[in-house]
Amino acid sequence: MSGSGSSQPYVLDASALIAYLRQEPGHEIVTRRLTAARKGQEILWMHAVNLCEVYYDALRRSGKALAEQLLMDVGGLPIRVCRTIGRPLLRESGRLKAVGGISLADALAVGLANLKGGRLVTADHHELDAVEQRGDGRFCWIR
C-alpha cells in the first residue's frame, strides 16, 4: 500500500505545508521532501481535510483571492491529495481519535501516514508528541 519510490512515503499535515508556503522555520525540510517527490524518489500525500486547514488559514489571513491562488499553486506541487475516507482510514483515524488528545484533522493525517507505511511531516508537537510516545505513529518533525 505504500506505493513505489526508493524510500518511504510521507504525509504532510497543514502545519508542514503552511511552514513551506510562508517560509517559516522548518520549511527547508518540506522543500527537501517536495524536491525528492519531483524527482520520483518519494511519494508525498496529504488528506483533503488537512488541505482545507491550509485554505482556511489563508482565507482568514489574506482573503479569498490569495487563498484561491494558494490552492492553484498547491495543485502544482507533487502532492497526492487523498480525497476520501474509506473504511481502513475511517477505522485507523477513529482509533487514533478515540485514544484521545488530537483533532480529527490530525487523526486523519496520522491515520493516512500509518496506512501508507510512512511518516507524518509536521510541526505540531502540541498534539502529536503524545501520539509518538504511545507508538501510534511515525513522524518527521520540521522543528
pLDDT at 99: 93
Residue 8, C-alpha cell as written in the block: 518511504
Under DSSP, the state recorded for 3 is -
With b for 16 or more beta-carbon neighbours within 10 A and e for fewer, the 121-140 pattern comes to bbbbeebbeebbeeebbbbb
pLDDT band at 1 (very low <50, low <70, confident <90, very high): very low
Average the pLDDT over 25-49 and give the result: 97
pLDDT band at 6 (very low <50, low <70, confident <90, very high): low
Predicted confidence (pLDDT) per residue in 62-95, tens digit? 999 999 999 999 999 999 999 999 999 999 999 9
pTM: 0.93
- Residue 104: C-alpha distances to residues 12, 27, 49, 81, 110 (Å): 15, 24, 9, 17, 10
The domain segmentation of the chain, as residue ranges, is 10-141
Which residues does 105 contact at the CB level (< 8 Å), separation at least 6?
A: 13, 14, 47, 49, 50, 52, 53
CB atoms within 10 A of CB 21: 17
Using a pLDDT cut of 90, give the percent of the chain over it.
93
What CATH topology corresponds to 10-141?
Rossmann fold (3.40.50)
Q: Of 101 and 5, which is predicted with more confidence?
A: 101
CB atoms within 10 A of CB 35: 12
